[in-house]
C-alpha cells in the first residue's frame, strides 16, 4: 500500500513537471483524474456545512483543481495537495457566496404571507379599511404570533440600502454604509502587518539562508539557480530553506501570541 502511494506521488510529480515545462490538455486531464479524490474529499466536507448538492460542489471543485494545476511550480518544493486545497475549497466557497444572494425563509411562512395578502385585499374591499393582525390570523386559522413572524421574515428578506439612515448625528445623518467596516482597507492593513512580521523574522536569519529563501519564494528561482548564485550545492539550498523556515516559525509564534487578545 505504501509503495503504491509513493509510486502515485512520484507519477504525479512527473506529470506536474511535464505540464509546467510544456502545458497540454492531455497532461492536465491526467492530473485532474489523479487528484480527483482530493476534490471529492473536500466536496464531501463542504456539503455537510451547506444545503447545496454534493455533485454541484464536486463539479465546481474541479475548476479550482485546474487552476491549481496551471499555477503550480514544482521547483518551489511544495506538496501539490497542500497547494491545491485552497484553490479547490476557495472555488466552492465562491460558488456558495454567489448562490446565497437572498435570505431563504421557510416555505410555510412564504405561503402564509401570500395567503395573508389575499385576506388583506379581500378585507379592504369588503370593509373599506386595513385588517388588524388578529383579524388576519383568525381568517388564516393561525396564531397572531405565527402571522407576525411570517411578516417579519418576509420583510427581512429584502436587502437594505446602504444609504438608509440608522441614526442622526449633530450635523448629518449616519447611514448604514457609514457603519460598515472597510474590509479592503482592513485586509490590506493585515497583509502589511504580516509582511512586516515576516520581514523582521527574515532579517534575523543567517545571510545565505535568507538569500536562499528570497531567491526561491520571492524571485521564483529554481534551487539549482540559487545554488549557483550563492556558491553551494542544491541540497545545501534545500537544507538552508528548511532550517530558515523552521527558525522563522519559531520567531513568528511569540509575535502571534503577543498580538492575540
Residues 89 and 118 occupy one common structural domain: no
Residue 132: DSSP 8-state: P
Residues 94 and 119 occupy one common structural domain: no
Residues 93 and 126 occupy one common structural domain: no
Residue 205's contacts (CB-CB under 8 Å, 6 or more residues apart) are 213, 244, 247, 248
Residue 109 φ then ψ, to 5° = -70, -35
Domain boundary residue among 66, 99, 132?
A: 99
pLDDT at residue 190 tops 90: no
CA angle (73, 74, 77) in 5-degree steps: 110
Q: How far apart are the C-alpha atoms of 166 and 178, rounded to whole Å?
A: 9
What residue numbers bound the domain in which 113 lies? 107-179
Tell me the whole-structure pTM to 2 decimals: 0.41
Residues 95 and 111 occupy one common structural domain: no
Residue 175 φ then ψ, to 5° = -95, 170
53 found inside a domain: yes
For residue 168, list its beta bridge partners: 173
37 found inside a domain: yes
Residues 112 and 86 occupy one common structural domain: no
240 found inside a domain: yes
Contact 72, 25 (CB under 8 A): no
Coil/strand/helix, residue 131: coil
Residue 61: DSSP 8-state: H
255 found inside a domain: yes
Residues 248 and 221 occupy one common structural domain: yes
Q: What is the chain's length?
A: 261
pLDDT at residue 144 tops 60: yes
Domain boundary residue among 50, 68, 99?
A: 99
Q: Could you read off the pLDDT of 2-37 as tens digits, one per residue?
A: 445 566 677 788 888 988 898 899 999 999 999 999
Q: Could you read off the pLDDT of 131-141 as tens digits, one per residue?
A: 999 999 898 89
191 found inside a domain: no
How many separate domains does the chain show? 3
69 found inside a domain: yes
pLDDT at residue 234 tops 80: yes
| Residue with the larger pLDDT of the pair 44 and 181 | 44
CB atoms within 10 A of CB 213: 20
- What CATH number does residue 22 fall under? 1.10.1740.10
Q: How far apart are the C-alpha atoms of 39 and 81, rounded to whole Å?
A: 10
The answer to which of 60-69, 88-97, 113-122, 194-203 has the lowest mean pLDDT is 194-203
Residues 81 and 132 occupy one common structural domain: no
193 found inside a domain: no
- Cell numbers given for 222: 529554481
Q: How far apart are the C-alpha atoms of 94 and 86, rounded to whole Å?
A: 12
The full DSSP string for 147-178 is HHHHHHHHHHHSPPPTT-EEEE-SSSEEEHHH
Amino acid at each position: 500500500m505504501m509503495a503504491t502511494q509513493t509510486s502515485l506521488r512520484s507519477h504525479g510529480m512527473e506529470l506536474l513537471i511535464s505540464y509546467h515545462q510544456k502545458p497540454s490538455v492531455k497532461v492536465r486531464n491526467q492530473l485532474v483524474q489523479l487528484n480527483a479524490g482530493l476534490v471529492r474529499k473536500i466536496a464531501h466536507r463542504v456539503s455537510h456545512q451547506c444545503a447545496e448538492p454534493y455533485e454541484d460542489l464536486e463539479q465546481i471543485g474541479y475548476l479550482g483543481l485546474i487552476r491549481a494545476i496551471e499555477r503550480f511550480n514544482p521547483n518551489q518544493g511544495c506538496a501539490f495537495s497542500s497547494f491545491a486545497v485552497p484553490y479547490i475549497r476557495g472555488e466552492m466557497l465562491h460558488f456558495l457566496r454567489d448562490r446565497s444572494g437572498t435570505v431563504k425563509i421557510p416555505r410555510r411562512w412564504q405561503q402564509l404571507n401570500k395567503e395573508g395578502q389575499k385576506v388583506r385585499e379581500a378585507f379592504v374591499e369588503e370593509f373599506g379599511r386595513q385588517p388588524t393582525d388578529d383579524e388576519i390570523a383568525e381568517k388564516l386559522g393561525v396564531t397572531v404570533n405565527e402571522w407576525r413572524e411570517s411578516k417579519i421574515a418576509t420583510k427581512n428578506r429584502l436587502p437594505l440600502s446602504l444609504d438608509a439612515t440608522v441614526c442622526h448625528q449633530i450635523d448629518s445623518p449616519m447611514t448604514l454604509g457609514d457603519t460598515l467596516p472597510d474590509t479592503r482597507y482592513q485586509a490590506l492593513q493585515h497583509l502589511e502587518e504580516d509582511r512586516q512580521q515576516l520581514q523582521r523574522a527574515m532579517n534575523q536569519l543567517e545571510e545565505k539562508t535568507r538569500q536562499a529563501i528570497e531567491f526561491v519564494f520571492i524571485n521564483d528561482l529554481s534551487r539549482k539557480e540559487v545554488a549557483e548564485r550563492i556558491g553551494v550545492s542544491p541540497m545545501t539550498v534545500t537544507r538552508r530553506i528548511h532550517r530558515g523556515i523552521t527558525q522563522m516559525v519559531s520567531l513568528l509564534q511569540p509575535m502571534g501570541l503577543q498580538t492575540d487578545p
